[in-house]
Amino acid sequence: MPTLILLLTLLFTFSGCSSPYKNIPYSYTPAPTQSRNPLSAIAPLKIKVREFVDLRSVTNSLGSSLNSTGLKTGDILAQKPVETTLRARIITELQRSGHKILNTKPEFVISGAVNEFQAEIKPYPLGREYTALITLLIEIEDPSQRIVYSHEYRTLYRDKIPTAHSVQSSNQVFSQAVDKIVAEVVSDREIYTLFSKYQDAKKPKIKTKRHWFFF
């Protein structure tokens, strides 16, 4: 068994040295099933989601594919801007929760900025290891355009797949990283409380009659 492991390691090493340079496309792949998020328990809100921005220093690449010696063999290139993908996923989750997405007279406005989206593919003795690190800043404004909530979410997602690399595998893992950080946003307890208190304040107050007793 030790001899077999050594042979596999040498095979990956020498094959990695001669790996041709090849860019790897990435496009978001939705998960087959999505669980409901806590925001579905809140009465429908009118929400505007501004265009997200990409604040990464390098925006034309998500990261690199490496060979077994650590040499770069290709760039991981997003087929759509990552800020567009993240914004679309958040909109989808809000709509699945029953909230209305519109641009006029919203009750809340959500803005987003991608500070990090780093992806990496590298070999290990039995297959490929995929890693994605995403940092997303979310800000929420109330109807008076006052920022009432701001938070930076950060998620690291890693998976090992015991097969040779395929675009399907990288799409799957990097999309799971996107889903993970979006789930953190829509499951944020502070956002839930913010929206819930706003809806509670809108409910009509029940007036109680005072009864006067004379003795």
Q: What is the pLDDT of residues 105-118, one digit of tens each?
A: 999 999 999 999 99
pLDDT digits (tens, 9 = 90+) for 143-175: 899 999 999 999 999 999 988 778 889 999 999
Domains contained in the chain, CATH given: 52-200 (3.40.50.10610)
pLDDT of residue 212: 53
Residue 44 · residue 94 · CB < 8 Å = no
Q: Round to whole Å and give the CA distance between 82 and 117.
A: 8
pLDDT of residue 166: 85
Report the percent of the chain where pLDDT is more than 70: 84
pLDDT of residue 205: 65
What is the mean pLDDT of the segment spanning 118-144? Answer: 94
pLDDT of residue 208: 58
What is the mean pLDDT of the segment spanning 131-136? Answer: 97
Residue 111 · residue 105 · CB < 8 Å = no
Residue 176 · residue 159 · CB < 8 Å = yes
How much of the chain is helix, strand and coil, in % rounded to 5? 30, 30, 35
pLDDT digits (tens, 9 = 90+) for 34-91: 678 899 999 999 999 999 999 999 999 999 999 989 899 999 999 999 999 999 999 9
Name the β-bridge partners of 150: 139
In this predicted structure, the answer to whether residue 20 has a pLDDT above a threshold of 50 is yes
pLDDT band for position 16 (50/70/90)?
very low
pLDDT band for position 32 (50/70/90)?
confident
Q: Round to whole Å and give the CA distance between 103 and 46.
A: 9
pLDDT of residue 9: 47
- Number of neighbours of residue 54 by Cβ within 10 angstroms: 16
pLDDT band for position 26 (50/70/90)?
very high
pLDDT of residue 155: 97
CA atoms within 13 A on the CB side of 163: 6
Average pLDDT, the chain: 87
Closest C-alpha to 63, from 78, 53, 81: 78
Name the β-bridge partners of 66: 72
What is the mean pLDDT of the segment spanning 133-139? Answer: 98
